[in-house]
Amino acid sequence: MFERDAALRVLTPEQEEAIHEQAMRILEEIGTDVKHDRARTLLSEAGLKVEDERVHWDRGFVMEQVAKAPPSFRLRGRNPERSLTIGGASGSPAWMNVGGPPFASDLDEGRRSGRMADHDRFVQLTQAAGVLNCVQVGAVEATDLQMESRHMDMEYSAIRYSDKPCTTYGTSGPRARDGIRMAEIVHGGREAIEAEAALMGIVNPNSPLIWDFRMTDALMVWAEANQPVVVTPFLLAGATSAVSVSGGLAQQVAEALSGVALAQLVREGVPCLYGSFFTVTDMRTGSPAFGTPESVLGVLAGSQLARRYGLPFRGGGGLASSPAVDAQAAAESQMMLWATNLAATDVVLHAAGWLEGGLCASFEKFALDVELLGQFQLQAKGIGFTAEEMAFDALQEVGPGGLFLSSPHTRAHFKEWLYMSPLFTTPDFATWETMGSETTEVAANKAWKRLLETYEDPGLDPSIDEELKAYMASRRDAPDLFAED
């Protein structure tokens, strides 16, 4: 029920066209600032009008470039059996853990600044979770390590503790290069990762309409190496975009497509994704609000627009604003996960563990989200129609007024056919109260520990391990590490 062909469409063809038309006007008439000399030179040489830092993007050029991006691509896992096809009719959605929060939390230790050990544990949980097939580097910021070099430690964590495909940390050109170099070490050199991509780089323009130096630099480094670029405008209606959904969508198209066009100019055919991270500003607090009606519509419309441009779609996730793993957190996440599934999203960052508007990576929230993702997978399987499932004979045998509870048919099949959630239970109230009135948060604490116990270390070739460590050591000693990017 979440097939690509059945993806919910919330824009009429006329509305889709209106957004496209306005995006083209934004690019041509307003333009974007591009704070990167080499990028501006490339764009100018391609015939675009450039005035100081302002680039006016001709629509013909943009659409021509966008058309060069492939509709799908392969992303390799360290274990080739875990490699993914992303996008297109034959692709599978990539589901990932949360990324980016400065804080981590669990019921045992409470909320604290993120540590390397927390990062490792999130990677291990992601490796162990069957519903996640990709690792987001930077699950939580390892604030206990030196800022200048910890991006490499987090890359290493994803490589060492998981053999699933992964993203990369890179928030600047030099960091992007480190991620690529480490991927080369793992996957057998530059040629290998250029032939089949080994990481995905996430790029956020500085909205509205600024391509700043660091992100542009990272984008170009990934494009040069033929690594997929996820161009994701981070739009908060009322802060970084206009206070309306249609206005935000037009800006999203303008920003996303200009990023894709630049990437194609750097290297024709590099995989690029249309990314959507759109929600509203809670004007009472100035914070983003997640799971709102506007963001549900934003994910669905974003997916529709990405398909219009023939690009794989990144969006959605288990996003929530709530500071606790409570009813609000679950309600918000469900809004987003339903939209994500109904949009047939190709790449889902932050599918598990996101709490507190993305400021906190919660282990209990991770367990809750993994449970929900599993339920969506079962829904997607649909209804079985074998003769045994149709069960005419079983009904005839039980007959009017009979009981299925003890019937041979029920006993033969209930374990295989019925879903009994390990996290959600159905105790009678008196028993539940006697047992300590356990809420979901407490049950989730047990659930992620159970999951962690199933973690199997995929191991890492000692020579690769050594080479990675040597590279990281050499970079830590490099004189340019502390230089301004």
Residues 175 to 214: which contact a copy of itself by CB under 8 A? 206, 208-210
Residue 168 or 303: which CB sits closer to a copy of itself?
303
**In this chain, which of 185, 197, 262, 394 binds a copy of itself, going by CB under 8 A?**
394
Q: Which of 286, 143, 266 is nearest to 216 (CA)?
A: 266
Residues 84 to 123: which contact a copy of itself by CB under 8 A? 103, 111
Residue 66 or 325: which CB sits closer to a copy of itself?
325
Does 143 sit near a copy of itself (CB under 8 A)? no
Point out which span in 69-77, 178-186, 275-283, 477-485 binds a copy of itself (CB under 8 A): 275-283
**In this chain, which of 31, 233, 259, 302 binds a copy of itself, going by CB under 8 A?**
31
Residue 26 or 69: which CB sits closer to a copy of itself?
26
CB of residue 23 to a copy of itself, shortest distance in Å? 10
Q: Which of 140, 118, 187, 192 is nearest to 159 (CA)?
A: 187
Residues 345 to 364: which contact a copy of itself by CB under 8 A? 356-357, 359-360
Cα(275)–Cα(316) distance, integer angstroms: 9
Residues 434 to 473: which contact a copy of itself by CB under 8 A? 437, 439-441, 443-444
CB of residue 4 to a copy of itself, shortest distance in Å? 14
Residues 322 to 341: which contact a copy of itself by CB under 8 A? 322-335, 338
Point out which span in 85-93, 178-186, 430-438, 468-476 binds a copy of itself (CB under 8 A): 430-438
Residues 398 to 417: which contact a copy of itself by CB under 8 A? 398-405, 409-410, 413-414, 417
CB of residue 179 to a copy of itself, shortest distance in Å? 28
Residue 30 or 42: which CB sits closer to a copy of itself?
30
Residue 124 or 322: which CB sits closer to a copy of itself?
322
The residue written with tokens 């340019």 in the block is: 480
Residues 235 to 264: which contact a copy of itself by CB under 8 A? 237-247, 249-251
3-state DSSP assignment of residue 90 = coil
Residue 123 or 237: which CB sits closer to a copy of itself?
237
Point out which span in 125-133, 215-223, 320-328, 472-480 binds a copy of itself (CB under 8 A): 320-328
Point out which span in 73-81, 144-152, 278-286, 447-455 binds a copy of itself (CB under 8 A): 278-286
CB of residue 133 to a copy of itself, shortest distance in Å? 19
Burial of 95 (0-12, 13-18, 19+ CB in 10 A): buried
x/- track of binding to a copy of itself for residues 38-67 (CB under 8 A): ----------------x-------------
**In this chain, which of 196, 224, 294, 465 binds a copy of itself, going by CB under 8 A?**
294
CB of residue 182 to a copy of itself, shortest distance in Å? 33
Does 428 sit near a copy of itself (CB under 8 A)? yes
3-state secondary structure the chain: CCCHHHCCCCCCHHHHHHHHHHHHHHHHHHCEEECCHHHHHHHHHCCCEEECCEEECCHHHHHHHHCCCCCEEEECCCCHHHCEEEECCCCCCEEEECCCCCEEEECCCEEEECCHHHHHHHHHHHHHCCCCCEECCCCCCCCCCCCCCHHHHHHHHHHHHCCCCECCCCCCHHHHHHHHHHHHHHHCCHHHHHHCECCCEEECCECCCEECHHHHHHHHHHHHCCCCEEECCEEEECCCECCCHHHHHHHHHHHHHHHHHHHHHHCCCCCEEEECEEEEEECCCCEEECCCHHHHHHHHHHHHHHHHCCCCEECCCCCCCCCCCCHHHHHHHHHHHHHHHHCCCCEEEEEECEEHHHCEEEHHHHHHHHHHHHHHHHHHHCCCCCHHHHCHHHHHHHCCCCCCCCCHHHHHHHHHHCCCCCCCCCCCHHHHHHCCCCCHHHHHHHHHHHHHHCCCCCCCCHHHHHHHHHHHHHHHCCCCCCCCC
CB of residue 422 to a copy of itself, shortest distance in Å? 10
Does 392 sit near a copy of itself (CB under 8 A)? yes
Residue 282 or 467: which CB sits closer to a copy of itself?
282
